[in-house]
Structure formats: structure tokens, C-alpha cells
Copies of this chain bind each other. A is one copy, B any other.
Amino acid sequence: MGDVFKALADPTRRTIMDELSQRDDQTLFEICSRLATRHGLGLSRQAISQHLEVLESCGLVISRREGRYKYHRLDPSPLQQLSERWPVRPRQEEP
């Protein structure tokens, strides 16, 4: 089981999450090409693959195999622990 916070630390992984956020069920190659064209990232396929591994190991991305394709989608639910751990109380009033 991976660390959600460490997974969020990398800007590339956050961009991957953005990409999956607005289009679910993408394969590795799709993500690669869309990152290149739409976000200007020129990373190798393995780099993206390793990032997806990290995101999967902490539950932020769920994958499903179908033949030789592997589809990925975002699952933001692990992020809930965050707002529960440090609730954003409204600014403290001072008399």
C-alpha cells in the first residue's frame, strides 16, 4: 500500500490525475500521447507507466484489463482523509 501524499507530490502525477479527471478509461498509450499534445510533457512510456503504478498502489487510480489493453480511471476518494485530518475551519474570529 502506497502513500497518497507522496503520490501527490510529483507534478507529473498530478497532471496525469488532471487528464484522467476529464477523460476516464484511457490506456497507457492514450495517456502518453495526450500528455504530450495537450500538456506539453514529453516523457517516455515507462515513466508514465511507473507513475500510474504509484497512483494505483495508493488507490488514486483504478485499472481494468481488457485483452491487451489496460484502462485507467481516477478515484479521488482517498483524498477525503485529507480534509478530515485537517479540517478547513473558517478563519478564527478575533474580538
Contact = CB atoms under 8 A, between A and B. Distances in A.
Contact of A18 (B18, B21, B85): B85
Q: Interface residues of A: mostly helix, strand, loop or mixed?
A: helix
Contact of A76 (B5, B6, B88): B88
Copies of this chain in its oligomeric complex: 2
A11 B5 CA distance: 9
Contacts of A74: 86
Contacts of A5: 5, 8-9, 14
A82 interface: yes
Interface in A55-78: 74, 76-77
B87 A83 contact: no
A59 to B, nearest CB: 12
